[in-house]
Structure 1
Amino acid sequence: MLTPDRLDRFARHIVLPEIGGTGQVRLASSSVMLIGAGGVGSPALQYLAAAGIGRITVADCDDVDASNLQRQTIFNQADIAASKAERAADWVRRFDPAINVVPRNVRIDADNAAGLIAGHDLVLDGSDNFATRLAVSDACVASRVPLTTVAVGRFQGQVANFAGHLPDQACYRCWVGDAFDAEDCDTCADQGVLGAFVGMASTLGVMQALRVLLDGVADLGDPQWGKLLLLDGLKPAMRTIAVAKDPTCRACGG
């Protein structure tokens, strides 16, 4: 049940037929793990909290740098050199003390991903390298936890929901394959990034995450598994492609 103050706070959600009171209760009882509190993770955290997600875990091993402030919207000048995960949790506590937020100042890899993900209803991955993304995806498949992934490079963005633990659904590895397990990849420091475009992709990712969390209880709950949304920030434009399950995928195939 929602208390009177929570009913007031989420009144604009509740009057939407696609969400309603039942949907808001579901969000309040949901737990999300956010991978990364950077350009994708910062606005994602703001909108997950604004949606009333009951428990949020924020995992990030980096400290705030001055160059982050151009796009990482939860931080300010006073946060420079502080832990991103800790400062992100502080932001949530100030914004909505009713949310249970847990900071994890840790780098996620193949050895610890499953343990960190366990117990969550959904993972939203905004990490910036393929090795982390694939470790998270593989752990989600093994733990049977849905994955929302958001990736941005210059003016290109990708957003998708994956459920590779389901027999007929692809996982993120089905999309990118095995060639990207290495740590080396292009970064926004090398290529550049526009803060507003990262925020655009991030908030679309939260919208897709909410579809997963509301599945079965509200009309918005269409997870759209394996539907990859490709964003072009220069035109701007968006198109959708369907990712097929790879029967030879080492994470979810066969």
Structure 2
Amino acid sequence: MAQDDRQLAVAFFDSLFQSPYEATISLRENTADGLRYLQWTAHALRDEQGSVFSVISIGRDVTQHMTRMNLLQEQAWRDPLTGLANRRHFIDMAEAEITRARRYARPLSLLSLDLDHFKEINDTYGHQAGDSVLQEFAAIVLDIVRDVDIVGRTGGEEFAILLPETDIDAALGVASRLHEALRKSEVTLRSGVSLRFTCSVGAAFLDGTTVTLDDLFEQADKALYQAKHTGRNKTCAAVQGSAVRDAP
């Protein structure tokens, strides 16, 4: 049995000694052939005094079914091109993280990212080239963030990074590392052409005026708009509610 399922198994067994004296559970088991999913249905037999004296259980292998379900769930959560969280899954995870940050008064920042001149890349080199750029960009972002950070593709060439336990200065440091990584990267197309690309970034911080995910996105998008319209390939930050400044 998988270690994480042991407490579930104990709770399953305990439930058989109280009404309705039957239960069903799916447990994982590590075998020589890999991870298997077993579904157990059990019914407790009671004597005339109502005491349980025996348990009848039936188990069946549901690995194929669970594998399909897990795949469908993963497909519902992930952007198929980049493997990042899609917009809906990003929002779900971000909402939960913001709730935690507000409850415990912890810092949290959001980076809103947009690839520069992406339409020109598609128009000039084709959508396959654009897809390669998106995949490379996603890989670069994942390489510079922590495991606890949440990264999602929120639109065509739009991405977002939620940074728990991160104030605005530390968030700007992440953006700076991203710009530096992009300066060192390139995508080589099948034709042999090498493409370099950049992105613009808007940063926002969870504070007294930005208290929801919508607030954060609104502030980060304002900062991103300024970055896009004052030269691109740069980061701007929303500070003190509505003010926006260029990042150093």
Same fold by TM (over 0.5)? no
Using CA pairs under 8 Å that are at least 6 residues apart, name the structure with larger relative contact order, 1 or 2: 1
Higher helix share: 2
Q: TM-score, normalised by structure 2?
A: 0.26
Higher strand share: 2
Compare CA radii of gyration and give the structure with the larger one: 2
